[in-house]
Amino acid sequence: MENFILLITCFLLGIALRLSGIIDEKGPAAINAVIIHMSLPALALLYAHDLPISPELFLPAAMAWIVFGIGYILFFHTLNKVFDLDDKTKVCLALTAGLGNTSFVGLPMIEAFYGAEYMGIGMLCDTAGTFMALAIPGIILASKISGEEINRKQLAKKVLLFPPLVAILLGFAFQVIDYPSWLISILERMGGTLSPLALLSVGLTLRFGAIRNNLRELAIGLGYKLIIAPLIIFILYVFVLDATDITAKVTIFESAMGPMITGGIIAMSYGARPELAATMLGVGIPVAFLTLPIWYWILSAV
């Protein structure tokens, strides 16, 4: 419950700071830079260090890649023929609707519906799946539509030096040693700034008129993220792979989470329809709180 109150408080504070003029238009960019260079790397170092490398990793890790790949390569490209979506719109929807909020919202939801003992499955979905999908193909797409003249060498450099990806690789490398308690505490505190800062940035960026102006794209993105994507994972895992154990159920539940906050921050930072990205987060996360109990009920019947 505290997480939801924190989300709402920071979101409303961002709106209040924007309306009051205390923070100008450059404010979100500065906050986003802090998130990308401090908050995200801290979480990556923390989670990757304890991530087990085993066959059990496959289903939770694969989910995010499947949702992201089908969303960008098939769904949004198919709709492009009907709605004439430009490249920035497709990338924005891929980064928000193609990736889920599998950590800050996902982990508390798993605890609330399934129990704290299954949060490790959520961490697998997030670190090996969502986070890596954002750090590699997500950054490649964002860089290509950023408006900068980037050759292949520069693009590779942007991806390989993306701070969260570097932190993930270091976290895996450091698995051979135990983190001291003081380092864990520091990483937890630094990583804990992610969601408050992200929702503050969303509140600063969101314009309520943007909901009406982006209604079509909003319906496409949220329709995919909250209904179509989890339905695809449900059919694939349950009916094709015959996976009905608790790991599969929690993974499918994670696929139904709202838009990814970090994906939205990357979209804003790289100029991929910042207004639409903020609207996707501002509307999608609250709506997901209504749709998740429905998915839990469906999964309970399997």
10-34 pLDDT tens trace: 888 988 988 888 887 778 878 888 8
Residue 171 has pLDDT above 80, yes or no: yes
Q: Which is more confidently placed, 297 or 47? A: 297
Closest C-alpha to 293, from 147, 156, 114, 25: 114
Residue 222 has pLDDT above 90, yes or no: yes
Q: What integer pLDDT is reported at residue 1 of this predicted model?
A: 60
Q: Can you tell me the distance from the alpha carbon of 89 to that of 277, in angstroms, rounded to the nearest whole number?
A: 9
Residue 108 has pLDDT above 90, yes or no: no
Q: What integer pLDDT is reported at residue 148 of this predicted model?
A: 67
Q: What is the mean pLDDT of residues 122-134?
A: 83
Residue 162 has pLDDT above 90, yes or no: no
Residue 149 has pLDDT above 70, yes or no: no
Element (H, E) at 291: helix 274-300
Q: What integer pLDDT is reported at residue 113 of this predicted model?
A: 86
Q: What is the mean pLDDT of residues 96-102?
A: 91
pLDDT confidence of 4, banded at 50, 70, 90? Answer: low
Distances in Å between the Cα of 51 and the Cα atoms of 68, 102, 179 are 21, 15, 13
Q: Can you tell me the distance from the alpha carbon of 147 to that of 201, in angstroms, rounded to the nearest whole number?
A: 22
Q: Can you tell me the distance from the alpha carbon of 175 to that of 188, in angstroms, rounded to the nearest whole number?
A: 17
Residue 50 has pLDDT above 70, yes or no: yes
Residues 6+ apart with CB under 8 A from 210: 275, 276, 278, 279
Token digits of residue 265: 């921050």
Token digits of residue 164: 């969260």
pLDDT confidence of 150, banded at 50, 70, 90? Answer: low
Residue 54 has pLDDT above 90, yes or no: no
Mean pLDDT of the chain: 85
Residue 183 has pLDDT above 80, yes or no: yes
Q: What is the mean pLDDT of residues 211-216?
A: 85
Q: What integer pLDDT is reported at residue 151 of this predicted model?
A: 66
Residue 181 has pLDDT above 80, yes or no: yes
Which numeric CATH code is attached to 2-20+27-300? Answer: 1.20.1530
Q: Which is more confidently placed, 219 or 163? A: 219
Crossing angle for the helix pair 261-269 and 87-96, nearest 10 degrees?
150
Q: In a 3-state reduction of DSSP, which class is residue 28?
A: helix
Q: What is the mean pLDDT of residues 270-274?
A: 89
Q: In a 3-state reduction of DSSP, which class is residue 51?
A: coil
